[in-house]
Chain A
Amino acid sequence: GESVGLHLPTLSVQEGDNSIINCAYSNSASDYFIWYKQESGKGPQFIIDIRSNMDKRQGQRVTVLLNKTVKHLSLQIAATQPGDSAVYFCADLGGSYIPTFGRGTSLIVHP
């Protein structure tokens, strides 16, 4: 079946470093993706999205890259801060606007 998954369950970085979180998807028809951040005790929070007609999209300190050839996304966080510590999910919205979430990567930022 179709799936959205992440390569690494945990990523530890030092404050100030750049972080890269990866995500693979299997549905070649997927055309819209969202990255969410989930802090402890809270629901997921929208970070940034990208459509399949784009390879890259930038936000404030975050960049999402999409490689449709290998069905891979990445979320890059510049100058990672302790407040960035959370679980990050990529989600595939397909054509229904209902997100299919991957398992998540836990980002730990050490001061």
Chain B
Amino acid sequence: ETGVTQSPTHLIKTRGQQVTLRCSSQSGHNTVSWYQQALGQGPQFIFQYYREEENGRGNFPPRFSGLQFPNYSSELNVNALELDDSALYLCASSVGIGSSYEQYFGPGTRLTVT
């Protein structure tokens, strides 16, 4: 186990609703990255937070937003859910931004939008 936890494990939402996913980093890690993994695809980078500030963003619309808290845990918020948002959402924690390859992934939250 990596020490990165995510909640909830599974979630079902209706199109147009809003959702908040949570991630607790591995102890000592101050960087969190979020990824979207559609079925049968590789993870796609959404954004990264370092010391509570957004440090980089992938090709996702503004309705995907995030927060990082002083204890380095993090939230991913998605507004106005669309059917294509159905995916596994992964968070990964690491130490610092130059060493983001040393990422430890959580088990993910499976989001289904109906």
Which residues of A approach B to under 8 Å, CB–CB?
4, 32, 34, 41-46, 49, 89, 91, 93, 96-104
Contacts and interface: CB of A to CB of B under 8 A. Distances in A.
A96 B107 CA distance: 24
B48 A98 contact: yes
A34 to B, nearest CB: 6
Interface residues of B, number: 25
B5 to A, nearest CB: 11
Contacts of B45: 98-100
Given A42-B107, A43-B4, A101 B44 contact: yes
B97 interface: yes
23 contacts: A42-B107, A43-B2, A43-B92, A43-B108, A44-B43, A44-B90, A46-B103, A89-B42, A89-B43, A91-B42, A93-B101, A96-B56, A97-B98, A97-B99, A97-B100, A98-B48, A98-B100, A99-B101, A100-B45, A101-B42, A101-B43, A103-B41, A104-B40
